[in-house]
């Protein structure tokens, strides 16, 4: 219920992250989730093996001081060689690990390609709008910039106007995508909230305690529209709040969601500036 409510009221802020999750799920997310768990388990095993090697005699303990720093008489290459040896001994199925990492990288590139295509469609419309208003902006702004700027900088006027319009167009494109994401997140979050609420009522046997059979039937998702009423009411309120608040996140929730915000801006940077380049 909490996750659904957060999605309902703040999901549009994470337009790229939500789109990435949806693209990930539609491209075989269950299989790729298994790869993620396998890679995580292998990394965990390597970490545990490294700690054990630091504790046992003849292992990393002979190369390190008590504070974990390298002994002065030990070359860094020897420490690196020992750590690589521990990793290679710990990993029993390097071929499977290689395939898992390769699948995750392929999925990551494919998700970025999908998101870039979606963003390109909206950005094309935004840039088209910028091109349509450019003559008017040139007519109004060029004389002002020509008057304000030094004569030696007048050749920058056209570039400044064009770059500013393109930047505004990109902001408009992301805002339009955020509005679409807000609608998706509102509906998705509202459904999650309603399903979870009815699940809690069923798990604690609260529905059976209602004396009236007619009232009990209202809480049966299969025959009642009460869950839909909750879903669409919460979704509508959440979408309205997101759009008219400018997709702002209040304190202290913005601190809690800071990791997701960092991921969102990373994905936006990758999508906007061509994150699929390494795959070519």
Cβ atoms of residues 231 and 194 within 8 Å: yes
Cβ atoms of residues 190 and 226 within 8 Å: no
Residue 173: which of 275, 268, 240, 277 has the closest Cα?
268
162-201: pLDDT as tens digits: 888 888 887 887 788 888 888 988 898 898 898 888 888 8
Least confident span in 2-11, 41-50, 71-80, 224-233: 71-80
Which residue carries 């590139």 as its tokens?
Answer: 109
* Beta-sheet strands, E only, within the chain: none
Give CA 136 to chain center in angstroms: 38
Instruction: Supply the Cα-derived Rg of the chain in whole angstroms.
Output: 27
Q: What is the mean pLDDT of the chain?
A: 76
pTM (whole model) above 0.85: no
Cβ atoms of residues 156 and 149 within 8 Å: yes
Average pLDDT over residues 22-38: 70
Name 150's Cβ contacts closer than 8 Å, sequence gap at least 6: none
86-111: pLDDT as tens digits: 677 776 777 767 777 777 777 777 77
Name 109's Cβ contacts closer than 8 Å, sequence gap at least 6: 276, 278, 279
194-212: pLDDT as tens digits: 888 888 887 777 666 666 6
Name 168's Cβ contacts closer than 8 Å, sequence gap at least 6: 130
CA quadruple 248, 254, 257, 260: dihedral sign: positive
């Amino acid at each position: 219920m909490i996750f659904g409510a957060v999605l309902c009221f703040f999901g549009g802020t994470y337009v790229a992250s939500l789109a990435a999750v949806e693209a990930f799920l539609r491209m075989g997310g269950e299989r790729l989730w298994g790869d993620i768990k396998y890679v995580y388990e292998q990394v965990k095993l390597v970490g545990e093996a490294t700690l054990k090697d630091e504790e046992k005699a003849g292992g990393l303990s002979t190369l390190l001081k008590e504070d974990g720093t390298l002994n002065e008489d030990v070359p860094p290459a020897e420490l690196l060689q020992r750590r690589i040896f521990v990793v290679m001994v710990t990993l029993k199925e390097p071929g499977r690990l290689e395939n898992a990492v390769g699948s995750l990288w392929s999925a990551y590139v494919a998700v970025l390609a999908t998101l870039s295509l979606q963003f390109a469609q909206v950005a094309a419309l935004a840039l088209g709008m910028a091109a349509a208003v450019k003559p008017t902006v040139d007519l109004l702004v060029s004389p002002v910039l020509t008057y304000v700027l030094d004569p030696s900088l007048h050749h920058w006027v056209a570039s400044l106007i064009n770059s500013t319009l393109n930047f505004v167009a990109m902001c408009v494109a992301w805002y339009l995508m955020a509005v679409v994401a807000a609608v998706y997140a509102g509906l998705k979050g509202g459904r999650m909230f309603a399903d979870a609420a009815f699940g809690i009522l069923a798990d604690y046997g609260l529905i059976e305690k209602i004396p009236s059979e007619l009232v009990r039937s209202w809480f049966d998702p299969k025959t009642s529209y009460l869950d839909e009423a909750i879903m669409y009411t919460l979704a509508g309120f959440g979408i309205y709040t997101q759009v008219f608040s400018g997709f702002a996140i209040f304190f202290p929730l913005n601190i809690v969601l800071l990791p997701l915000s960092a991921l969102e801006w990373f994905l936006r940077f990758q999508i906007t500036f061509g994150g699929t380049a390494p795959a070519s």
